[in-house]
């Protein structure tokens, strides 16, 4: 079961402002990426479960986080149905992120008081998600909508908490545009989880970029 309540997860999302996200089918790679993000100051990670037997990798990774990385909160993304959400929660997922708004996922997560963040693309979807108990809405794909969309949303709904993913990069200019628009936190994938020219993870770069992004966010 989850180690952290949805309120605790939402608080850490707001306080750090950054949710790294990635997927790899190799558990050793996953552990090293997670450790690099943790060393850089991240305290949340979204494991984007997009491969066969991804639940097995997540289960092993979460055990590693609980044992070796105190305070690291692992969640699962790319979840598309309630059965999958339940499976990952049974493996200790502390939050569930979905690419679309699904009421069946809302129900199983709310039942266990686990934070869920649905992908929304309109004010109507955002309002519906909040009616279903959503704390932080995922704007996906963020790059398609942009910061101006968030500014427009925050006008009639200043209480809405938004996390854009897709189109976010760990640069001062990019992060400033999002946070000045009113986001609660951002999700960053490949632009943060860097690989070298050989296609191998650059763990030093990942740690450095993570630390730099968090410092920029705190300054903002």
Domains of the chain, by residue range, sit at: 6-219
- Coil, helix or strand at residue 26: coil
CB 217 within 8 A of CB 175: yes
**148-181 CB burial, b ≥16 within 10 A, e <16:** ebbeebbeeeeebbbbbbbbbbbeeebbebbbeb
From 3.30.200.20, 3.20.20.70, 3.30.420.40, 3.40.630.30, which CATH number describes the 6-219 domain?
Answer: 3.20.20.70
- Coil, helix or strand at residue 1: coil
Distances (CA, A) of 7 to 4, 59, 70, 145, 172: 8, 23, 18, 27, 28
CA dihedral 11, 83, 64, 210 (to 10 degrees): -50
Contacts for 212 with CB less than 8 Å, ≥ 6 apart: 170
Predicted TM-score (pTM) of the model is 0.96
Closest CA to 78 of 56, 59, 54: 54
pLDDT by residue for the chain (220 residues), tens only, comes to 999 999 999 999 999 999 999 999 999 999 999 999 999 999 999 999 999 999 999 999 999 999 999 999 999 999 999 999 999 999 999 999 999 999 999 999 999 999 999 999 999 999 999 999 999 999 999 999 999 999 999 999 999 999 999 999 999 999 999 999 999 999 999 999 999 988 899 999 999 999 999 999 999 8
What whole-number distance in Å separates Cα of residue 77 and Cα of residue 144? 19
Which single residue is written with the structure tokens 């410092």? 215
């Amino acid at each position: 079961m989850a180690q952290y309540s949805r309120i605790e997860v939402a608080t850490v999302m707001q306080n750090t402002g950054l949710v790294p996200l990635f997927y790899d089918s190799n558990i050793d790679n996953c552990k090293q990426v997670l450790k690099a993000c943790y060393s850089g100051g991240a305290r949340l990670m979204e494991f984007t479960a997009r491969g066969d037997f991804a639940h097995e990798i997540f289960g092993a990774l979460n055990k590693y986080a609980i044992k070796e990385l105190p305070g690291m909160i692992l969640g699962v993304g790319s979840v598309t149905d309630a059965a999958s959400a339940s499976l990952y929660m049974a493996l200790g997922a502390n939050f569930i992120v979905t690419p679309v708004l699904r009421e069946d996922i809302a129900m199983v997560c709310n039942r266990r008081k686990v934070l869920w963040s649905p992908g929304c693309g309109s004010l109507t979807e955002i309002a519906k998600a909040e009616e279903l108990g959503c704390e932080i809405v995922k704007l996906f794909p963020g790059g398609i909508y942009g910061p101006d969309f968030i500014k427009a949303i925050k006008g009639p709904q200043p209480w809405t908490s938004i996390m854009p993913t897709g189109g976010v990069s760990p640069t001062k200019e990019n992060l400033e545009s999002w946070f000045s628009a009113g986001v609660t936190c951002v999700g960053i994938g490949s632009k943060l989880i860097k690989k070298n020219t050989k296609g191998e993870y650059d763990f030093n770069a990942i740690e450095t970029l993570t630390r730099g992004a968090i410092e920029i966010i705190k300054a903002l």
